[in-house]
Amino acid sequence: MDYPPGKAPLAILIMALASGLGLLLLPAGKSSGNLEVWTFADSHYRAYQKVVPHFEAAHPGVKVDLQFVHGRAVTSRLRAAFASDLHVPDMLETEISSAGTFFLGPLEDIGFVDLTAELHKPRPDGPPWYERIVKSRFAPYTSRRVVNGVATDHIFGLPHDVHPVLLAYRRDIFQAHGIDAEKLTTWDEFLRVGRGLMKELNASSPPGQIDHYLIGLSDTDSGDLEVLLFQRDGGYFHPDGTISLDDDVAVKTMCWYVPLVVGPERVGYPVGWNWEVTEKFLQTDFLLCFLMPDWFSGFFQKQAKSGAGKLALMPLPAVKPGGRRTSTRGGTMLGFTKKSKQFELAWQLGLELYFDVDSRAEQFQETNILPPLRAAWKHPALAQPNPYWSNQPLGQLYAAQADDTPPQYTSPYIQLAKEKMSEAICDCVDYYGKKGANGFEAFVRKRLKQSADEIRRQMKLNPYH
């Protein structure tokens, strides 16, 4: 068959038709239980399997259908189902970068239940849930609407986590060179001393051996940059949904970041997700430090065995003396669908999955993920020394920084914004690698504005912005 636009468009057309047919054939309102839950994270799925029997025992006759669904399938299936009369679960988890994409359009058309009133409702056992949870964690799951000049926030998800970021460093190497890393309290101090350590290590390396780098930082992806941008109270969007990707904070952060990953003063090298490579980085002392959100520390100790007992954690260096010593990266929300006819039952299950202290402490022991509920931070499990991390009390270290984690303001265009920031990083790295500091700030400002303007154009096409 001859298809004039070409084979690639034809393949895309066939996949789109097949996907649509699959959604149409998805039976509406049917599941193997009578309370259906989707999660995209395998570690969450395993943890919730332990909670479900207790919930079912406390609610005779109730069966929970817990399903492990790939993250991309969650968003694509759910978006199609919200826009039509197709089946949706009673409740589901979605990743922080996808959550905002569901908040487009009038409030009445958003497929998730507005939880604002429920979270602020007084409780017989103490303050409302909203006051028990790290405030910044509601920001990614909140949509701000302005009507007649009055702004109101609408919360559509429960936060699963806080994800504070600490700095992991090779304590053994720093100590061997007489350096107390935890006394390096600002980025200026850390980079000055770290560059000196790099020079010492590289000077003493045998001829032909690979160099050593101070810290894992990407030169192509926005993930590491956004950690440092959030630390500086920057981000992709303002609370009202307007773009902040090209403001002064973003420009200054990019100008500071790029020379760390390219050029004569380079100290960073990308880590990636290949654990065999990370193992070699540790075995050869190739990388000395890593940005370490709590969830990543769990992966690290399970996958990068060579770091056991050598790595330790400390607060991030501050931008200025006395400044914020942490940031955040990643996150998950639990949302409740409007199409569900059993919100009260789903809400009770959601509270048990997310805010039961003993359950969350057990999850922490498996994943290192700090719960957003402050009461859980006092659990003995969070004070236990972790052998991998030089016997440090991992939970207490992350909890000490949790209330200072910066907000991540969201938008229906958050995924696009992250893509455009990654594109900008690549172009800025290319410019600096070829021309250095000559005209670099002006280029960064122009390039970030280009990315931001592309998003603004997309926003203008939507009548609800």
Where are the strands (E) in 47-141, listed by range? 64-68, 91-95
The reply to whether 4 falls in a domain is no
Q: Which helix (H) or strand (E) holds 39?
A: strand 35-39
Per-residue pLDDT for 396 more than 60? Answer: yes
The rounded distance, in Å, linking the Cα atoms of 331 and 329 is 7
Same domain, 200 and 131: no
The reply to whether 178 falls in a domain is yes
**How high is the mean pLDDT of the chain?**
90
**% of the chain residues with pLDDT over 90:** 76
In this predicted model, what pLDDT tens digit does every residue of 165-189 receive, in sequence order? 999 999 999 999 999 999 999 999 9
The reply to whether 10 falls in a domain is no
Which residue do the tokens 């009055």 mark?
150
User: Mean of the pLDDT values across residues 354-382?
Assistant: 95
Per-residue pLDDT for 24 more than 70? Answer: no
The rounded distance, in Å, linking the Cα atoms of 110 and 121 is 22
The reply to whether 319 falls in a domain is yes
In this predicted model, what pLDDT tens digit does every residue of 241-292 receive, in sequence order? 899 999 999 999 999 999 999 999 999 999 988 889 999 999 999 999 999 9
Per-residue pLDDT for 14 more than 50? Answer: no
Higher pLDDT, 464 or 346: 346
The reply to whether 396 falls in a domain is yes
The rounded distance, in Å, linking the Cα atoms of 247 and 342 is 44
Same domain, 323 and 336: no
Same domain, 34 and 63: yes
Is the backbone of residue 456 left (phi > 0), alpha (psi -120 to 50) or beta? Answer: alpha
Give me the amino acid identity at 412.
Answer: P
Residue 463's pLDDT is what? 59
Same domain, 39 and 139: yes
Q: Which domain holds residue 134?
A: 24-162+330-402
The rounded distance, in Å, linking the Cα atoms of 318 and 370 is 22
Q: Are 152 and 248 in contact (CB under 8 A)?
A: no
End-of-domain residue from the set 381, 402, 423: 402
Per-residue pLDDT for 440 more than 50? Answer: yes
Same domain, 75 and 169: no
Same domain, 289 and 142: no
Per-residue pLDDT for 29 more than 60? Answer: no
Residue 17's pLDDT is what? 42
Same domain, 170 and 62: no
Per-residue pLDDT for 465 more than 60? Answer: no
CATH assignment at residue 285: 3.40.190.10
pLDDT tier at 464, thresholds 50, 70, 90: low
Q: What are phi and psi of 328, to 5 degrees?
A: -150, 155
In this predicted model, what pLDDT tens digit does every residue of 38-94 receive, in sequence order? 999 988 999 999 999 999 999 999 999 999 988 777 777 787 777 777 788 999 999
Higher pLDDT, 349 or 1: 349
Same domain, 346 and 429: no
Same domain, 420 and 274: yes
Give me the amino acid identity at 320.
Answer: K
Q: Select from 229, 378, 381, 409 the least CA-distant residue to 316.
A: 229
The rounded distance, in Å, linking the Cα atoms of 68 and 48 is 11
The reply to whether 19 falls in a domain is no
End-of-domain residue from the set 371, 402, 433: 402
Higher pLDDT, 209 or 113: 113
The reply to whether 263 falls in a domain is yes
| Alpha helix (H) residue ranges in 232-370 | 248-261, 275-283, 294-303, 343-355, 357-367
The reply to whether 450 falls in a domain is yes
Same domain, 287 and 172: yes
Domains contained in the chain, number: 2
Per-residue pLDDT for 20 more than 60? Answer: no
Q: How far apart are the first and last CA of the chain?
A: 43
Same domain, 69 and 152: yes
pLDDT tier at 454, thresholds 50, 70, 90: very high
Is the backbone of residue 178 left (phi > 0), alpha (psi -120 to 50) or beta? Answer: left
Same domain, 156 and 169: no
Q: Are 425 and 226 in contact (CB under 8 A)?
A: no
End-of-domain residue from the set 384, 402, 420: 402
In this predicted model, what pLDDT tens digit does every residue of 105-149 receive, in sequence order? 888 889 999 999 999 999 998 899 999 999 999 999 999 887 888
What is the per-residue DSSP string for 177-242?
TT--GGG--BHHHHHHHHHHHHHHHHHHSPTTPPP-EEEE--SS-HHHHHHHHHHTT--SB-TTS-
Distances (CA, A) of 225 to 122, 260, 268, 294: 39, 11, 12, 17
Residue 6's pLDDT is what? 46
